[in-house]
Structure formats: C-alpha cells, structure tokens
C-alpha cells in the first residue's frame, strides 16, 4: 500500500508516492516542526535511506530551509531532483533558496528551465522578474514582468514589480499611472502609497510626494519608513515642528531604528536652520534612550552649546573628546572653527592641521585653513591651501572662490 502526494503544474500532474511508514514519520516531523524546524529536519534526516522517496527528501530539505540551514537544504533539493527530475515544487523551492542565498544566476537558471517546460505559467515569469531585480537587471526584469502580465493581466504583484523596475530605469511617466491604478484597486496599501511617493520624490515632485504621504497617514496606512520619509521632507521644506513631532514619535516607538549619523544630521540641520529649541527638544528625547555612542552624544551636546552661545561649555566638551581621541576629525574641525571665530588663529591652525592628513576630511580642513588665512589677509597662503583643497574636492563654488582670492593678490 502506498500514499500518493501530488505536485501540480498548470498543465501536468506528477504523482509521488510515499509508504505508510514514511507518512507516519512525516506526521511526527510536522508535529516537531510546530515548535522547531531544525529539530524536525534533524529527525527526518535520521530516517533517510538510499530508498527514501522524493517527498521525504523534499520535506527534509524544506525544514532545513525554514531553519536557515541553506547548505543542507540545497544538497537535499538537488538529491531530490536526481531522483525525480520533473518535481516542479522542488525546483521552485530550490530557486527560492538560490535567491535567499544571493545566487541569482542559479535562481534564474532554474526559473528559465521551468518556463521552458511550462511557458504559460505566469508565476514563473513573476519569480524570474524578481530574480532579475535582485541582480539589478532592471530591463530584463521589466520584460519578465510584462510577460507575466500578458498571461495574467490582473497580477498585481507583477504590476508592482514592473513599477519598481521602471522606477529604477527612471521611467517616471510610465510608473505614476500604474501606481495610481494599483491604489485604485487598494487605497489602503502601504506598499502602493510608498511606491507612488518614491517615484514622486525621484522625479523631484516633492509637493506631490508630501501629499501622497500625508494621505497615507490620514488613511492610517503609513509605515514607520514612510513616516521617516515624511519627516525628512518636512525638515527639508522648513516645516521643522512637523518633522520633530514625527521624529520624537518614532523614537518612542522604536529608538533602535535610528542610525547615529541620521540623528546627528537631523539635529545639526535643525541647528543650521536656527531651530535651536526644536533641536534641543529632539536631543533630549533621545539622550536617555542610549541610541548613540558616548562620543557622538558629546559632539551633539557641544553643537547645541555653540548654538546657544555657551562657548565655554562647548570647549570643555571638545577637550574631553580629544583627551580620549586626539585625532577625532569632526571635533578638531568644530574646535578649530570656534578658535577661528575667537580670532585665535595660531591655535586654530595648530588644531586643524592634523585633519588635513585624515582621509575624507582633507578638503574640509584645507578650506578652513583657507578661511583663516583670508581673515589674516595672508592671500598667498589662502590660495595655496585652496588649490590643495581642490585636489580632493573641486566644484564650481571652490573654483569661483579661488578666482576671487586671486583677484585680492593683484
């Protein structure tokens, strides 16, 4: 007596048999898997023999896959296909495993093999399109998604994939009507609202992106990532209070979501906009959450002290940081800037000079030295520093600056 297990494709049915003993083993494995996939895989693996059926091998591979044991899963999927080359479900899961392990070429190879065997299955083209997307082959992905939609015009996953592939190709005019069509089908879809906002941002239509995100928020279908994007737009559009309200909300909900550099740039942007109270409010909302390192915390404190004209407190923090890390570039730049503003030029030069040798900070340090020498009316030295700065960072602004200084020499 045998128990039959079927794996179906759209036009072919393959029958795979297991014995009653295997059926009982699989039932036990499923019970184990309800609490631990790896234990289920290990249990099944102990029951495998050379005569084990393809479904037994397939089930064991699946449990290893779910347990993130990818190497064991891959081996068993391939063993299953040696035994049963036309086992479609195995090929599909093998392709999924290849995607998970970033073996995109192998995933595409498996899916092309499935398409050759069943060219009218829209799911295969959808999967292939996703594989191309993950390989950054957006034109190929577009073709695969369009092929899927030719077979199944109602496949929203393919429409979404097509939109994303077109977005990556900067075909914004093609994406927007499709994104709106998807929203007509599901006006509460977080994914579709984010898609529409992303393409609007990409084409530079910030006002429309703001409207889209605010609409999603009103419909209560906004994700934390969308809220972060909304807050960043508010900040850039000088709607600082709106931005800070969202940042504080997100900090309360998930403080670990914020990266240190992101928090620093937000607070420094508020300071640059002279929104000192808001910068202070945001800083105070995060300082007790331990989401930033001690050194970065001190640098933010110093920036706020400078903004509040509390120079002595800022200097004390600069010195504290530099005692522990004498070549901390950002602190040296901030401290030298303060010294320049106090017209303590020799000390400023001594402080900033080491930064000219720190990778990534050379241009900033040399530009600061240029400014110092200009204030001292040492134009020749200023030209020399600026020409060196342009080795690391040359743009129309620095070129214009150089021309202006050279005029002062004549």
Radius of gyration over every alpha carbon of the chain, rounded to an integer in angstroms: 30
Closest by Cα among 171, 174, 176, 166 to 196:
176
Beta carbons of 191 and 164 less than 8 angstroms apart: no
How many CB atoms neighbour CB 52 within 10 A?
20
**How is residue 255 written in tokens?**
């403080």
**Cα angle: 270, vertex 262, 368; to 5 degrees:** 65
Helices (H), 34-117: 37-47, 54-66, 70-83, 88-100, 104-117
According to DSSP, residue 10 is labeled S
The residues with which 8 forms a beta bridge, in sequence order, are: 13
Q: How far is CA 80 from CA 64, 68, 86, 99, 271, in A?
A: 14, 19, 10, 19, 62
Q: How many CB atoms lie within 10 A of CB 50?
A: 4
pLDDT at 288 (0 to 100): 60
pLDDT of residue 300: 84
Token pair in block for residue 381 = 């030295």
Q: What is the pTM of this model?
A: 0.68
φ, ψ for residue 17 (rounded to 5)?
A: -110, 145
**Across the 410 residues of the chain, what is the mean pLDDT of every consecutive 10-residue run?**
34 57 88 90 89 90 92 93 90 92 91 92 92 91 95 94 93 92 92 93 92 93 92 89 87 76 82 85 72 79 86 89 89 91 92 92 92 90 89 84 79
**Strand-pair category, 13-18 with 3-8:** antiparallel
Residues 6+ apart with CB under 8 A from 88: 7, 8, 9, 12, 14, 114, 117, 118
Domain boundaries, the chain: 339-410
Q: Rounded to an integer, what distance in angstroms lies between the CA atom of residue 403 and that of residue 35?
A: 72
Distance CA(18)–CA(274), nearest Å, equals 73
Q: Largest Cα–Cα distance in the chain?
A: 103
pLDDT digits (tens, 9 = 90+) for 68-125: 999 999 999 999 999 888 888 999 999 999 989 999 889 999 999 999 989 999 999 9
Instruction: Report which DSSP code applies to 79.
Output: H
| pLDDT given for residue 2 in this prediction | 35
- Pairwise CA distance, residues 270 & 11, whole Å: 62
Question: What does the pLDDT read at residue 112?
Answer: 92
Residue found by looking up tokens 């009316």 in the block: 377
CA 161 to chain centre: 18
Which homologous superfamily is 339-410 in?
Tetratricopeptide repeat domain (1.25.40.10)
Residue 176 Cα to chain centre, angstroms = 22
Q: Report the 10 Å Cβ neighbour count for 318.
A: 24
Instruction: Supply the pLDDT for residue 7.
Output: 35
């Amino acid at each position: 007596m045998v128990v039959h297990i079927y794996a179906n494709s759209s036009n072919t049915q393959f029958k795979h048999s297991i014995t009653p003993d295997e059926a009982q083993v699989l039932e036990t494995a499923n019970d184990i898997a309800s609490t631990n996939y790896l234990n289920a895989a290990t249990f099944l693996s102990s029951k495998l023999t050379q005569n084990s059926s393809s479904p037994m091998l397939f089930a064991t591979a699946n449990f290893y896959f779910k347990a993130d044991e990818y190497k064991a899963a891959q081996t068993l999927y391939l063993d299953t296909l040696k035994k049963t080359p036309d086992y479609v479900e195995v090929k599909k899961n093998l392709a999924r495993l290849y995607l998970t392990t970033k073996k995109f070429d192998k995933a595409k190879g498996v899916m092309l093999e499935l398409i050759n065997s069943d060219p009218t299955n829209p799911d295969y083209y959808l999967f292939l399109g996703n594989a191309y997307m993950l390989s950054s082959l957006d034109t190929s992905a577009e073709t695969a998604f369009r092929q899927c939609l030719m077979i199944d015009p109602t496949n929203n996953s393919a429409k979404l994939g097509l939109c994303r592939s077109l977005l990556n190709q900067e075909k914004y005019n093609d994406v927007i009507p499709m994104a709106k069509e998807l929203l007509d089908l599901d006006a509460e879809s977080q994914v579709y609202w984010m898609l529409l906002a992303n393409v609007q941002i990409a084409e530079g239509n910030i006002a429309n992106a703001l409207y889209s995100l605010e609409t999603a928020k009103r419909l209560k279908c906004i994700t934390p990532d969308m809220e972060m994007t909304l807050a960043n737009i508010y900040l850039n559009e000088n709607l600082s209070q709106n931005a800070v309200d969202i940042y504080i909300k997100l900090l309360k909900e998930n403080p670990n979501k914020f990266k240190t550099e992101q928090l620093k740039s937000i607070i420094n942007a508020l300071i640059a906009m002279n929104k000192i109270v808001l910068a202070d409010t945001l800083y105070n909302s995060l300082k007790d959450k331990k989401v930033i390192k001690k050194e970065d915390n001190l640098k933010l404190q110093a920036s706020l002290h400078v903004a509040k004209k509390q120079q002595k407190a800022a200097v004390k923090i600069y010195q504290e940081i530099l005692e522990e890390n004498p070549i901390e570039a950002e602190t040296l730049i901030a401290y030298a800037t303060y010294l320049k503003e106090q017209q303590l030029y020799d000390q400023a030069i001594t402080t900033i000079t080491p930064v000219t040798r720190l990778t990534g900070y050379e241009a900033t340090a040399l530009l600061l030295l240029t400014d110092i020498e200009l204030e001292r009316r040492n134009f020749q030295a200023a030209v020399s520093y600026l020409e060196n700065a342009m080795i690391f960072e040359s743009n129309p602004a620095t070129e214009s600056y150089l021309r202006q200084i050279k005029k002062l020499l004549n």
